[in-house]
Amino acid sequence: MKTIAIVSTAGGAGRTMLAASLAVLLARRGREVVALDFDPQNILGSWLGLDTLASDGIAQALIDVSHVWHAHTWRNDEGVLFVPHGQLTLAEAAACSARLAANPQWLAGAISEIGLADTGVVLIDTPRYPSPQADHAARAADLVLCVCPPEPAACATFVAHLPALRESCADVRLVVNRLNPAREMQRDVLAMLRVAAGGTPVAQRIHLDAAMPESLARGGWLFDEAPHSQASHDLHGLAQHVDAWLPAHTARAPS
């Protein structure tokens, strides 16, 4: 079983979209997939088909050691096993952060209780890095996918936090999201990023596609509704990259 943390140093970079899309595309390739929401926004479930925000999830186990978070998981119609974060009050959120700070191995311990096959994968959605949740996810992960839009502020914060991310996880790879080749500024920023990111492999570039939020709002997937769009090809490319990185299994042909 491998664990992948999806992090970014910028808000709205596309972490949740990528966590949900990768979960579905890897499940369609026959992988056993757990999608774990470790972001207090508690929104990943709605991308995976839940109608309401899950009230209970893994965060409650941080507050109450007797809370059995396994009892609050849910399997979506693609076969992805979803672990919600759970809704928290402000006081509970503060208690969670304190518990995470006091116990740096907490998330790694919780993930070790998930009994997937060697070829299975746990994908973790996180709040913006740095945060206690994103830090735990990076340290629990075998691979960190760092999502970065080709915008100056996002790239500058990515470069600033890259050494800490590399300290947490030996394998950090970049996913450039919201790429718009029509914008000359993005080409300059990408060139700067290549130099500043010093050898960080680029797992995939994903193009901006205005239809993506609309597909998601309808409860669908861009790669089903517009399978020949550039962004759909890019998302399949990322799933292929991750699938090739995971231990080999007898794959179903991708649909």
Question: Any contact of residue 213 with ligand ATP (CB under 6 A)?
Answer: yes
Measured in whole angstroms, how far is the alpha carbon of residue 83 from the centre of its chain? Answer: 13
For ligand ATP, what does the binding mask look like between residues 125 and 164, x meaning CB under 6 A?
---x------------------------------------
Question: Closest CB to ligand ATP among 1 and 238?
Answer: 238
Q: Binding ligand ATP by CB under 6 A: which of 62, 208, 239, 242?
A: 208
Q: Which candidate, 1, 23, 31, places its Cα nearest to that of 250?
A: 31
Distances (CA, A) of 193 to 156, 176, 198: 8, 10, 8
Question: Closest CB to ligand ATP among 145 and 208?
Answer: 208
Question: Closest CB to Mg ion among 1 and 18?
Answer: 18
DSSP states along 154-180:
HHHHHHHHHHHHHHH-S-EEEEEEEE-
Q: In what order do the strands lie in the sheet with 2-7?
A: 74-75, 81-83, 33-37, 121-125, 2-7, 143-148, 172-179, 202-207
Q: Binding ligand ATP by CB under 6 A: which of 1, 4, 7, 13?
A: 13
Question: Any contact of residue 16 with ligand ATP (CB under 6 A)?
Answer: yes
Distance CA 218, CA 241 (A): 27
For residues 35-64, which are near ligand ATP according to CB under 6 A?
39, 41
Question: Any contact of residue 212 with ligand ATP (CB under 6 A)?
Answer: yes
Q: Which residue has the tokens 């700070």?
A: 101
| Residues near Mg ion, by CB under 5 A | 15-16
| Residues near ligand ATP, by CB under 6 A | 8, 11-17, 39, 41, 128, 177-178, 206, 208-209, 212-213, 216, 231
